[in-house]
């Protein structure tokens, strides 16, 4: 049985090899959040993954429970890296944990020139790892970020993430495209 990795970055390197690009965001309070990037040559998706968020305790959780975040998109969008890092330090700054099926509102656009204003947070898709145990015993929960427009964030907050995903599917919107147009939303049909 292979030795447990000492960090999420080590796990990613073992799984996908060297990243194509890496960015590091250091905070005044001493955290270093790395954003690692890989491009899958088969389906052309670009994967961004955090490493270092697991150094931040999750408010209200067991001391060994930690989080890391991932985002998949097509086409690539390196400008989003800083916003991904901001999600990573949200718990340390706000004292509030993020979880699947919640909404994160960024303090501004996800990058200059976009109207995307935050992320809906969900569990990773079937092919993605959902958790990892590190050599020091910390248990990492992976959460997926999906960029969203202000009206989409409001809709997800009122009706739930699943309702937003259903609306995007009905509109045939490629939610993984960071340059997409916003979805035209109507309240979900609750009658049977």
- Does the pLDDT value for residue 192 go beyond 50? no
Other beta carbons within 10 angstroms of residue 40's beta carbon come to 12
Q: Region 150-160: what's the mean pLDDT? A: 95
Pairing of strands 65-73, 139-148: parallel
Q: Region 109-133: what's the mean pLDDT? A: 91
Whole-angstrom Cα distance, residue 57 to residue 95? 10
pTM of the model: 0.91
Residue whose C-alpha is closest to residue 176's, from 151, 145, 153: 145
Q: How many residues does the chain have?
A: 192
Q: Point out which residues pair with 130 in neighbouring strands.
A: none
Distances (CA, A) of 171 to 66, 138, 187: 35, 40, 14
Q: Point out which residues pair with 69 in neighbouring strands.
A: 143
- What integer pLDDT is reported at residue 33 of this predicted model? 94
- Whether the CB-CB separation of 47 and 72 falls below 8 Å is answered with yes
Q: What is the mean pLDDT of the chain?
A: 91
- What integer pLDDT is reported at residue 4 of this predicted model? 94
- Does the pLDDT value for residue 191 go beyond 60? no
Confidence of residue 43 (pLDDT cuts 50, 70, 90): confident
- What integer pLDDT is reported at residue 40 of this predicted model? 87
Distances (CA, A) of 11 to 1, 28, 38, 156, 168: 14, 27, 14, 32, 32
Give the dihedral sign, CA 168/172/177/180.
Answer: negative
Angle between helix axes 150-159 and 161-170 (nearest 10 degrees) is 120
- Does the pLDDT value for residue 62 go beyond 50? yes
């Amino acid at each position: 049985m292979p030795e447990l990795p000492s960090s999420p970055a080590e796990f990613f390197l073992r799984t996908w090899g060297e990243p194509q690009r890496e960015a590091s965001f250091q905070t005044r309070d001493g955290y270093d959040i790395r954003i690692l990037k890989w491009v899958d040559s088969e389906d052309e998706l670009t994967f961004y993954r955090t490493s270092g968020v697991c150094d931040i305790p999750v408010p209200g959780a067991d001391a060994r429970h930690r989080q890391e975040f991932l985002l998949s998109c097509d086409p690539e969008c390196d400008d989003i890296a800083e916003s991904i890092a901001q999600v990573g330090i949200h718990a340390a700054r706000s004292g509030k944990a993020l979880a699947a099926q919640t909404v994160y509102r960024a303090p501004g656009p996800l990058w200059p020139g976009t109207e995307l204003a935050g992320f809906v947070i969900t569990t990773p898709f079937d092919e993605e790892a959902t958790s990892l145990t590190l050599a020091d015993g910390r248990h990492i929960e992976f959460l997926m970020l999906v960029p969203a427009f202000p009206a989409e964030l409001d809709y997800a907050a009122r009706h739930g993430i699943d309702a937003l995903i259903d609306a995007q599917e009905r509109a045939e919107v490629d939610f993984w495209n960071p340059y997409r147009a916003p979805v035209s939303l109507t309240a979900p049909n609750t009658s049977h």
